Chain A
Amino acid sequence: MFASILVNGLVNSVILILTALGFSLTFGLSRVANFAVGGLYLFAGFAAWIFLRILGLPYAVAILLAIILTGILGAIIYQVLLVRVRGIELSEVIATFAVGVAILETFRWAGFVTYEFNLPSFFKGRLEILGTVIDYQRLIVIGVGLFLAVALWWFTHHTKIGLGLRGIAQDEHTALTLGIESDWAAMLSVAIGSALTAVAAVVILPLGIISINVGYEVLLLAIAVSVLGGLESTVGLVIAGLILGYAQVLTANFLGPQWMLVVYLAAIVTVLAVRPSGLLGRFKEIEERV
C-alpha cells in the first residue's frame, strides 16, 4: 500500500511536472502566458498518430516530427498573433486561450474522438519496484521528466542564451540595451515551450488514449502547477508537481477518485489565496501590495 502510493505518486507528480514545463518555461523566459498548451499538447499527439498510422513512418521519426511541428506551430502563433498584442496581458491570454480551444474543437469536429486514437508504448514490458508493478512507459515518463527538469534549470541558470532570455523577462529595456532582441527571443521561448509540451504529450499519451478532454485537462493542470510553483522557478515547479501529484494519489486512495479534482483545485485556490506569488515565486514579491 505504502509502496504503491510512493511509486504512483511519483509517476503522477512527474506527469504533472512534464505537462507544466512548456508553459512554465515560456512564461518564465518571456512573460507570455500561453493558454494554448492544451491544444498544442493534443496537436502533438494527433500529429504523431497521423505520421505513425496514416503515413506509416517509424515511431521515433513520427515522434520527432511531431515535436518539431508543434514547436513551429508555437512560433507561428507568436509571429502571427502574439506579436501584435505583446504586453497586453488580457489580450495574450484571450488570444492563446481561443487558439487552444480552436485546435481542440477542430479535432473534435474532424472526428478524432474514438478509441483507435492511441500511441503505442515505447517498449513493452513492466518491472517490479518495492512490490509495485510499473510498466516501462511510466519509467520513461519519470526519466524524461526528471531529465528535462534538470536540463531546463541548467539552461536557464547556467547558459548564456538562457540567462539572456531570463534577462528579458526581468526587464525588457535593459535587455534591449544589451543587444538582446526581445521579439525574436520571445518567439523562441514560445516555440521551445510548445516543443516541450509536445515532448510531454508523446511521452505521456501512450499511457492512455488521446481524447479531446485530455487537452482541456492539460490546460488546467499545466497552468495550475506552474502558477503554484511560482512561474519562473523550476524548483518551485517540481515541488508543486510533487505536492499535487501525491495529493491526488492520496486522495484517490483514501477518499475515492471522485475527490481527486476537488482536492486538486482546492489546493490551487488555497495556495494562491495565501501566497499570491506561488510557493517559490519571487517575481511579484517586491511589488506585492501589502
Chain B
Amino acid sequence: MANPILQVDHLTKRFGGIGAVYRISFDLQPGEALGIIGPNGSGKTTLVNLITGFVKPTAGRVTFRGREITNLPAYARVELGIARSFQMVRPFYNLPAFKNLIIPLFSPRVGKRVGGKSGNRDEVAMHLLEEVGFERDSQVPYKVASSLPHGYLKRLELARCLALEPELLILDELFSGMSMSEVASVLPLIEKIREQGTTIIMVEHRLRELFRIANRAIVLNFGEKIAEGKPEEVIADEQVRKAYLGSEDA
C-alpha cells in the first residue's frame, strides 16, 4: 500500500475534563474519500478542528504526508494543502460574493500561481463561483454576501476551499441546509474533485450523499470511534444503529 496522506494517531481532546474526542486513530490513503458520521455532539467537528489545527489536542499525533503537524498552526496546515469548510458559514458579509474569494487567492499557497494583479484574481474568483453553481451572467456573484441565501453561502464556502487547491479537502456538513436541487448541483462537482485525485474527508448527516462520495466511513459516538469500514456495512452495524437511534430494538 502507498504511504498514507493523513495519519491520525490516538488523537484526544478534553474540554475542562470532558472528553470531546478520545483516542481516535485512522489512516487515509491518497485519493480516498472518508466519511465521518455520528450523532450530534459525538465529536465530529472537534475532530475536524483538531486535524485542521483550529483546536490544540490534549494528546495524540496528526501526520500529513509523513510530516508531523500536530503543533503546526492552522494557517500553515492550509499552506501544506489541507482546506476545510465550516459547518457554521461565516463569510465576509460586507464583501460581494466574488470578493470573498480574493483572500484565499491571495494566500501564500495559491497567491503566486494566480498572479499578482488583482484583476487576475477577480477572474479566477468568478470562474470558481461558476464552478460551484453561481450563475456567471447574473447579479449573484456581485451581491454582498450578507444578502445571499444560505445555500449560496454554503457553496461560497466550498468555493473558498477549492480556491486553495487542496490535496486534502475536509467538508464539515457541507450539505446541511442545502435544498435538494442545490445538493444535486454540487454533488457531481465533489465527485469530480475526488476523481481528480483529491483526498476528501466529509462529515455528513445526509447518508445518501455520503454513500455516493465516500468509499470508507468511521462512526463516532461520545468522542470515540465505534465502527469503521465500508459505508453501507458500517451503517448496518448493530452498535451504530444503537448510537444513532438510541434504542436497542431499532
Contacts and interface: CB of A to CB of B under 8 A. Distances in A.
B88 to A, nearest CB: 12
B16 interface: yes
Contacts of B53: 290
Interface string A251-290: 0000000000000000000000000000000100010011
Interface string A78-118: 00000000000000000000000000000000000000000
Contact of A290 (B15, B16, B73): B73
B193 interface: no
A286 B15 contact: yes
B74 interface: yes
Interface string A180-204: 0000000000000000000000000
Instruction: Name which of A286, A289, A290 has the most chain B CB atoms within 10 A of its CB.
Output: A290
Contacts of B16: 282
Contacts of A282: 16
Contacts of A286: 15
Interface residues of B, number: 8
A172 B74 CA distance: 30
A282 B17 CA distance: 13
Contacts of B55: 290
Contacts of A289: 54, 74
**Secondary structure class of chain A's binding surface, majority of residues:** loop
**Secondary structure class of chain B's binding surface, majority of residues:** loop
A224 to B, nearest CB: 26
A282 B16 CA distance: 9
A59 B56 CA distance: 56
A289 to B, nearest CB: 8
Nearest to B53: A290
Contacts, number: 10
A115 to B, nearest CB: 52
Nearest to B73: A290
Nearest to B74: A290
Contacts of B56: 290
A262 B15 CA distance: 36
Interface in B117-161: none
Nearest to A290: B56
Contacts of B74: 289-290
A290 B72 CA distance: 9
A289 B56 CA distance: 10
Nearest to B49: A290
A289 B54 CA distance: 7
B43 to A, nearest CB: 14
A48 B11 CA distance: 60
A279 to B, nearest CB: 16
B71 to A, nearest CB: 9
Nearest to B75: A289
B63 to A, nearest CB: 18
B79 to A, nearest CB: 16
B56 to A, nearest CB: 5
B244 to A, nearest CB: 27
Interface in B35-55: 53-55
Interface string B177-201: 0000000000000000000000000
A289 B55 CA distance: 8
Contacts of B73: 290
A82 B244 CA distance: 47
A167 B55 CA distance: 25
Interface in B67-120: 73-74
A225 to B, nearest CB: 24
A286 B56 CA distance: 10
B12 to A, nearest CB: 16
B191 to A, nearest CB: 33
Contacts of B15: 286
A35 to B, nearest CB: 27
Interface string A105-134: 000000000000000000000000000000
Nearest to A282: B16
A267 B139 CA distance: 54
B128 to A, nearest CB: 26
A285 to B, nearest CB: 9
A289 B16 CA distance: 17
Nearest to B15: A286
A244 to B, nearest CB: 27
10 contacts: A282-B16, A286-B15, A289-B54, A289-B74, A290-B53, A290-B54, A290-B55, A290-B56, A290-B73, A290-B74
Interface of B: 15-16, 53-56, 73-74
Interface of A: 282, 286, 289-290
Given A282-B16, A286-B15, A290-B55, 7 more contacts: A289-B54, A289-B74, A290-B53, A290-B54, A290-B56, A290-B73, A290-B74
Q: Name the 9 nearest CB pairs between A and B, nearest first.
A: A290-B56, A290-B73, A290-B53, A290-B55, A286-B15, A290-B74, A290-B54, A282-B16, A289-B74
